[in-house]
Structure 1
Amino acid sequence: MNLLYVLCLAQATFAATITYNWDITWVEANPDGKLRRPVIGINGQWPCPTIQANLGDTIVVNVVNLLGNETTGIHFHGQRQQGTNTMDGPSGVNQCAIPPGDSFTYNFTAYPAGSFWYHSHNKGQYPDGFRGPLIIHDPNDPYLGTYQEDLTLMISDWFWTQMPDLLGLYLNPANNAGIEPAPNSTLVNDSENIKFAITPGKTYRLRIINVSNMASNYVQLIDHEMTVIAVDSVNVEPATTESIYIATAQRYDVLFTAKSTASQNYFFISSLDQTMYGGVFDITIPNAYGYLVYNPLLPLPAVYEPTIFNPIDDFSLIPYDKEPILGPVSQTITINMIFENDAYDINRLTYVAPIVPSLYTVLSAPASDVLNPAIYGVGSNPFVVQYNEIVEVVINNFDTGSHPWHMHGHQFQVIYRGAANTPMWDGTQRLSQVPVRRDVIFVNTNSSTVWRFQANNPGVFLIHCHIDFHVEAGLTATLIEAPNRLQGALTVPADHLAVCRHDGTATVGNAAGNSQNFLNLTDRWSPHRQVNSLEPGRG
């Protein structure tokens, strides 16, 4: 992977700089035609725009927070951020939250190529609309000559109530069963009944991106076979299927070939998996439909929900480069996920944001302490790994629900995934020898999933369930990867430090804000603390 990144940088001589200037604003929208409500948009528009770039391009996003009543920040989901860990986006981890009225610049190299998305990593904002596609094109993509047109299909659940109110209901102690609010509808491209103009005989690449708060969806193009060619931007050997099952934050790239004649039009469906929800609920619009329009003069077909979906098993997919299983394992990270005492936790701890963002702790810590997980605070669920280690991550899901788990900064090898309600991982299970790679994997109910990666991207990266209710409830861990290699090699931009000053967030010290003794976290819960800074002459 490092070699690929070096080659990517070598191409930068011919690369472009793609610049976006974004004012983050409130916008009124009614995507399902049922209820108009405020959403978070860009430059007064919603849906949010698509970012398009080529592999190796520099992407610059100049952000001004004009929301007025909320801080914000952007994560570019799936981008590796090699050497640009300050640009990964989660507030309290890689940056301070951007206060209302402040500006902030993200600047990073487009790498890797594939289908991605961007979204706020703050306060449940992306289910309120702050999300959009991010497409990185590769001139050497092995499938480039097999299709003639590129389409994007973004699917999501949708709530008529804004997230602050939904989080209040979900996190209320009276909700002792931990039941998530059910959505009201399902959207395609943040709308309903969208139309794709189709030319007979043409082959299309369809990039399917799930930007839901919680919902997994079945997607099927009626009477059209799909060929999966990539998952989470990793090219795979072609695999045909009639439908896919796509969890929150996952992406599938598929090819489909149009019929030879324009004698009729067809529909496609995105059907919400209602088995994910507990309690009593009534989803008004559980299915979203769109149309493959061969002839606009012909009527659109009547829609229906198939009696059964037969999705491909993503664990069975084979990466195009056939990378073998990594080993031997240098370190194992075990994450026991359980719902108890009316809350989700990891190894019996719920994530609590540190006073100093974790990356800033790395950059300001004494070299003698930087590899010590204690300085990052037990509440951040920190796991420290050293450079180039082969790391195995074991997710044991003791919950009665399934969860999509995501790791920033890497595409990991999924070496084992247990079926629902099977024995937990004990190291004796059969492993995939040429494992599929993803950055989001669906972990089944009462079972384990195991992945591996090589720690060759120094940085601070989150490992978390991508159900946004669960993120806000603290179902998150922190990967501190080769922190000793970050010191002296990474500089925090001045505008990033400026938002910290305006937000009153310290940028020097351990998780408790202690910059004198990094091993002393006794002030972790103190509401009164000195604001330090990484800027020269301050702190």
Structure 2
Amino acid sequence: MGGLASLLIPLLLSPVIRLSQAATVSYNFNATWVTANPDGAFDRPTIGINGEWPIPRIEANIGDTILIDLYNGLGNQSTSLHFHGLFMNGSTHMDGPSFVSQCPIPPGSSFTYNFTIQQPGTYWYHSHTQSQYPDGLRGPLIIYDPDSPFKDQYDEELVMTLSDWYHDQMQDLIPPFMAKGNPTGAEPVPQAALMNETQGFKLSVEPGKTYLVRLVNIGAFAGQYVWFEGHNISIVEVDGVYTKPAEASMIYLSVAQRCSFLLTTKNDTSENFAITLFDALPPELNYNVTGWLVYDDKKSLPTPAIIDAFDPFDDMNLAPHDEQKLLPPPDRTVQLDVSMDNLGDGANYAFFNNITYKSPKVPSVYTVLSAGEQATDPRIYGEYTHPFVLGKDEIVQIVVNNLDSGRHPFHLHGHHFQAVYRGEESSGTFEDSGVKEEDLPAVPMRRDTLVVWPEGNIVLRFKADNAGVWLFHCHIEWHVTSGLIATFIEAPLEVQKTLTIPQNHLDVCSAGNVPVSGNAAANTEDFLDLSGQNEPPRPLPSGFTTGGIVAFVFSCIAGILGIAVVGWYEVLGEEAAADKAPHTSSGEGRTPGSA
């Protein structure tokens, strides 16, 4: 855990850094297996960078170009990197999801990410291959802004991560999770919750100072209620969007969400204070985890207080600092109904509109580039990528109706969306809510990840002004594994005009034997011929199918013949016994002429 110290050191920004010109910030990353034990309970293989875990923080200024050379030294797994929350304007091929914007990077290969950032804020980066990031390939990404509206209101910046931790690797957890022995789709429960990838975290502060705390949930499953005892906070940013200051005593942060807030310390050092994480999860997870605001390391660390109920700040009440108004009524509405059900292999899958995601054989961006005018036809991207083709600058509204009994944090790549409505738990579908256009907020909050409550609904709105291929998915990693993903292909003909795939990327595809042209089935002759595309198991039949009826009839015939053969052998056996028995005059047995 040699990289832990770098995460614990508060970051003090100097005027020199703040005033620096746009630059290229370079990182050379070698992803390898290391051993980690962050909860002190169990050593396990973990994905580190350059031999260290936690992995390095990526830092740049707004306007900088980030250049990352990633070598896959894992030996037994492919990988990739996604830069969560960054728009990747003009560089959709740098977004990172395998089989969407790139080929997975096989062991022994290198891949170069090269993109320029024009958005400030708090982000993170993680693997977007094989549900791999819970094994450790996850870390914060911070873009500093010399023109932040809050730059004069704090003295230092601090970065904190929240996460959950499994003692087993994902490659061992996924098969039983996706097996018929788990028909309800019960998610594996993590063994621990972590702050800055450790437990017993101590955040050293000085009295009478104001800190900008950047808080990132980089976990796979657990949302967290966060409480700084004895201190209120003032929220000033979520998911890379500045907010009007909002006072809070407790916040809820789902996986993938970020929240930055101002925290002003007390003017004395007479005591230290607990930082507590809560979540309502089963008892096998140590979900009440405590860290401390440490004013004086010579004083005791207090036991956290008991709370009667969760009462977090409602993030739907946030307002954007720039007061961007509600976008016009949508040109296009995409309704996605969430459900969980079993398919023919007996396992539980996640569905949007009865479609569970299955990766195409050709990365979808490469299909865009090789399809010519047919790139605007959603069929070529495969039925099971759940594709929607969006026109340039369309106003798009996503309505998510959660027909499931669990909560889901939904994330959109390539955009901030306006969070225009969220129904209460058990409120049913948006269509049943009676909410009209005039009922929506005039200035809704923007972000890239929003939670829908159990059996509730959310309404999101954005402008399709970023040509590329972007995923929309639940960020609970188990639900990604089970297929809760849709694909937005945005202005594909614009992508063809502006995008060229670097040879470095094509080399990775060649090394992994992944085709780089054609439709979702890798057919380059007829883009509407999807025979051979990747498919999930077929649905369970409802009643008897034709094949089932035929099988039933033959089973019945076979059963009747079997009974007849048994009866025939029994008769033959009786006759043979009668022939061998001695004849008597007492009338026992059969005599000639008897009935």
TM range (shorter): over 0.9
1:208 and 2:209 matched = no
Q: How does 1:338-487 map to 2 (within 5 A)?
A: 338-341=339-342, 342-367=348-373, 369-426=374-431, 428-429=434-435, 430-487=439-496
Question: Once the 2 structures are TM-superposed, how far is the Cα of residue 328 of structure 1 from its aligned partner?
Answer: 2.5
CA distance in 2, matches of 1:383, 1:129: 32
Question: Once the 2 structures are TM-superposed, how far is the Cα of residue 304 of structure 1 from its aligned partner?
Answer: 4.3
Number of residues paired by the alignment? 509
Change (3 A) 1:520 1:324: same
Among 256, 260, 273, the residue aligned to 2:263: 256
1:286 and 2:280 matched = no
1:520 and 2:536 matched = no
CA distance in 2, matches of 1:523, 1:220: 52
| 2:69 counterpart residue number | 62
Could you list the per-position Cα deviations for residues 113-134 of structure 1 after superposition, in whole angstroms to 9, with x for gaps in the alignment? Answer: 1000000011121111100000
Residue type of the partner of 1:267?
A
Question: Once the 2 structures are TM-superposed, how far is the Cα of residue 521 of structure 1 from its aligned partner?
Answer: 1.2
Question: Once the 2 structures are TM-superposed, how far is the Cα of residue 100 of structure 1 from its aligned partner?
Answer: 0.1
CA distance in 1, matches of 2:229, 2:442: 34
| 2:87 counterpart residue number | 80
Could you list the per-position Cα deviations for residues 358-391 of structure 1 after superposition, in whole angstroms to 9, with x for gaps in the alignment? Answer: 0000011022x11100010111000110000000
Change (3 A) 1:178 1:463: same
| 1:298 counterpart residue number | 299
Contact 1:54 1:137 in 2 (8 A): yes
Question: Once the 2 structures are TM-superposed, how far is the Cα of residue 291 of structure 1 from its aligned partner?
Answer: 1.3
Contact 1:271 1:288 in 2 (8 A): yes
TM-score (norm 1): 0.92
Instruction: Determine helix, strand or coil for the equivalent of 1:500.
Output: helix
1:509 and 2:510 matched = no
Contact 1:216 1:273 in 2 (8 A): no
Change (3 A) 1:472 1:323: same
Unmatched runs of 5 consecutive residues or more in structure 1? 1-10, 275-280, 527-539
| 1:5 counterpart residue number | none
Question: Once the 2 structures are TM-superposed, how far is the Cα of residue 38 of structure 1 from its aligned partner?
Answer: 0.6
Could you list the per-position Cα deviations for residues 11-30 of structure 1 after superposition, in whole angstroms to 9, with x for gaps in the alignment? Answer: 99930110000000001000
Instruction: Determine helix, strand or coil for the equivalent of 2:434.
Output: coil
CA distance in 1, matches of 2:357, 2:77: 21
| 2:145 counterpart residue number | 138
Question: Once the 2 structures are TM-superposed, how far is the Cα of residue 305 of structure 1 from its aligned partner?
Answer: 4.3
Question: Once the 2 structures are TM-superposed, how far is the Cα of residue 525 of structure 1 from its aligned partner?
Answer: 4.8
| 2:272 counterpart residue number | 265
Residue type of the partner of 1:334?
Q
CA distance in 1, matches of 2:196, 2:254: 16
1:90 and 2:97 matched = yes
CA distance in 1, matches of 2:25, 2:133: 23
CA distance in 1, matches of 2:363, 2:243: 36
Contact 1:186 1:272 in 2 (8 A): no
Residue type of the partner of 1:296?
D
Change (3 A) 1:31 1:452: same
Residue type of the partner of 1:66?
G
Q: Which 10-residue stretch deviates more, 305-314 or 33-42?
A: 305-314
Residue type of the partner of 2:270?
S
1:124 and 2:124 matched = no
Unmatched runs of 5 consecutive residues or more in structure 2? 1-17, 343-347, 536-595
| 2:539 counterpart residue number | none
| 1:7 counterpart residue number | none
Question: Once the 2 structures are TM-superposed, how far is the Cα of residue 508 of structure 1 from its aligned partner?
Answer: 0.5
Question: Once the 2 structures are TM-superposed, how far is the Cα of residue 284 of structure 1 from its aligned partner?
Answer: 4.4
1:45 and 2:46 matched = no
Among 108, 132, 135, the residue aligned to 1:101: 108
CA distance in 2, matches of 1:471, 1:127: 12
Q: Which 10-residue stretch deviates more, 325-334 or 24-33?
A: 325-334
CA distance in 2, matches of 1:266, 1:494: 53
Instruction: Determine helix, strand or coil for the equivalent of 2:480.
Output: helix
Question: Once the 2 structures are TM-superposed, how far is the Cα of residue 407 of structure 1 from its aligned partner?
Answer: 0.4
CA distance in 2, matches of 1:165, 1:256: 41
| 2:310 counterpart residue number | 309
| 1:277 counterpart residue number | none
Contact 2:401 2:428 in 1 (8 A): no
Residue type of the partner of 1:384?
V
Contact 1:186 1:286 in 2 (8 A): yes
Instruction: Determine helix, strand or coil for the equivalent of 2:466.
Output: coil
Instruction: Determine helix, strand or coil for the equivalent of 1:145.
Output: coil
Contact 1:269 1:305 in 2 (8 A): no
Contact 1:185 1:287 in 2 (8 A): no
Instruction: Determine helix, strand or coil for the equivalent of 2:198.
Output: coil
CA distance in 2, matches of 1:525, 1:202: 56
Instruction: Determine helix, strand or coil for the equivalent of 1:488.
Output: helix
CA distance in 2, matches of 1:13, 1:146: 21
Q: Which 10-residue stretch deviates more, 420-429 or 76-85?
A: 420-429
Q: Which 10-residue stretch deviates more, 320-329 or 84-93?
A: 320-329
1:499 and 2:508 matched = yes
Contact 1:42 1:48 in 2 (8 A): yes
CA distance in 1, matches of 2:420, 2:50: 43
| 1:320 counterpart residue number | 321
Question: Once the 2 structures are TM-superposed, how far is the Cα of residue 287 of structure 1 from its aligned partner?
Answer: 2.0
| 1:533 counterpart residue number | none
CA distance in 2, matches of 1:391, 1:349: 21
CA distance in 2, matches of 1:306, 1:184: 23
When Rg is computed on C-alpha atoms for both structures, the one with the higher figure is 2
Change (3 A) 1:237 1:12: closer
CA distance in 1, matches of 2:353, 2:54: 38
Residue type of the partner of 2:364?
S
Percent identity of paired positions between Structure 1 and Structure 2: 44
Q: Which 10-residue stretch deviates more, 18-27 or 292-301?
A: 292-301
CA distance in 2, matches of 1:470, 1:22: 28
Residue type of the partner of 1:405?
F
